[in-house]
A and B are shown apart, each in its own frame.
Chain A
Amino acid sequence: MNRTVLLAGTILTAALVGILFLGLGHDPKHIDSPLIGNPAPPFELKVAGGNETIALAKFRGKPMVVNFWATWCRPCWEEHPTLTAASNELGGRVQFLGVVFQDDESKILGFLQQRGAAYPTVVDDRGKTAIAYGVGGVPETFFIDANGVVVAKHDGPLSPEQLQSYLAKDLGQ
């Protein structure tokens, strides 16, 4: 009986230690997006500083990079040059779109004037689009293929190498 209890206890402890060990390599803040492999949630939002709106459907047929950001987010400042350079380089082959989240329109315009705007930026006023995309914090970037399907998501600021990798692997660029 004592041997059985010891064996059962050892197996149980080993299993628990194994689960904890696996968890060590996992970022607790990273959540796999259930949107991957599914159609990108549609939206139609007002362009920052303008009166016109842009609908996601407008870009159907072209791979897209949709970046959720805000001017109060420092990591967004870091990745802005990366996204701008990639948009300028890829020209019409990939459509970049910025979605500003929980921010003030005058600050957005000031930021873009100062740091450059290579692609359209829309304002998610009440955060409905961010909620539909499961955004937890900015920056978050979604890669959408030409069929309108979300193929990848990146949490945090994108480095040029990371962006290049997503564009090559997930969008075939």
Chain B
Amino acid sequence: MIITLLLLIGLAEAPQGTPLQGAALERRTHEIAAEIRCPVCQGLSIDDSPSEMAVNMKAEVRDLVARGYTRDQINAYFERSYGQFVRLRPEFRGVNALVWILPIAALAAGVFFVLLTFRKLKNAPPKKQQRDDLYLARVRELTKGASR
């Protein structure tokens, strides 16, 4: 009977957490629901959306939390139906990893470029000195034979 019930809601695995109730149940439901996207809204979580779909999905989250399912198990359950789209915070894996990596890589590349430019400016001789060096080199070249 229990197995049938689990299968009927699409969760074939047993809960891996502790069943919650009261304020703890509401707090955990709110935390998990805030990271699940409402599929009929524009960028809203099921915690924020007043749509019937979101209300049903949040009720499902509450039901699963009350029965002891963990955050990962609940996220995986919704992901099995809706795909990764349902997660407002993409997981660090596959192509989604780029969402996390690219901004950091772009920032690092920018810092590197700025440092490189500063270093070159610092090491480069002042323009006047550079010009004087050229004159000095020419004078030395011309006076090389005369000193002998």
Binding site for B on A (CB under 8 A): 31-35, 38, 41-44, 102, 126-128, 130-137
Find B8's partner among A42, A102, A133 (CB 8 Å cutoff). A42
Contacts of A32 in B (CB 8 A): 83
B12 to chain A, nearest CB (A): 10
B56 — which chain A residues lie within 8 A by C-beta? 102, 126-128, 130-131
Q: What would 16 more interface pairs be, CB under 8 Å, given A132-B9, A136-B53, A137-B39?
A: A31-B82, A31-B85, A33-B83, A34-B80, A35-B80, A41-B81, A126-B56, A127-B52, A127-B56, A128-B60, A131-B56, A132-B81, A134-B83, A135-B39, A136-B40, A136-B82
Contact A35 B81, CB 8 Å, known A41-B10, A126-B59, A137-B40: yes
Give CA–CA (A126, B62) in the complex, Å.
13
Q: Identify whether the interface residues of B are mostly helix, strand, loop, or mixed.
A: helix
Q: A34 to B83, Cβ gap below 8 A? A: yes
- Give the contacting residue for A136; candidates B7, B39, B78, B79; CB below 8 A: B39
Other-chain contact of B53, A31, A35, A127 (Cβ < 8 Å): A127
Main secondary structure of the interface of A (DSSP, over half): loop
Shortest beta-carbon contacts, A-B, top 7: A134-B81, A127-B56, A136-B39, A132-B10, A134-B82, A34-B83, A41-B10
Partner of B79, one of A34, A38, A127, A137: A34
A149 and B85 CA atoms in complex are apart in Å by: 22
Complex Cα spacing A5 to B39, Å: 42
**Of all chain A residues, which has the CB nearest B106?**
A12
A133 to B9, CA, bound (A): 10
Residues in chain A near residue B9, CB distance under 8 A: 128, 132
Contact B81 A31 (CB under 8 A): no
- A134-B57 Cα distance, complex, nearest whole Å: 11
Q: Scan B25-52; emit 1 where CB is below 8 A from any A CB, else 0.
A: 0000000000000011000000000001
Complex interface: chain A residues within 8 A of B60 (CB): 128, 131
Given A32-B83, A41-B10; A131-B57 close (CB under 8 Å):
yes
For the complex formed, measure the closest distance between the CB of B18 and the CB atoms of chain A, giving whole angstroms: 23
Q: How far is the CA of A33 from the CA of B84 in the complex (A)?
A: 10
Chain A proximity of B28: nearest CB distance (Å): 19
- Asked if A102 meets B10 with Cβ closer than 8 Å, knowing A31-B82, A34-B81, A131-B60, the reply is no
- B40 surroundings in chain A (CB, below 8 A): 136-137
Q: Could you list 20 A-B pairs, sorted by A, with CB under 8 Å?
A: A31-B82, A31-B83, A34-B82, A35-B80, A35-B81, A41-B10, A41-B81, A42-B10, A102-B52, A128-B60, A130-B53, A130-B56, A131-B78, A132-B9, A133-B81, A134-B39, A134-B81, A135-B39, A137-B39, A137-B40
Chain A residue, CB-CB nearest to B78: A131
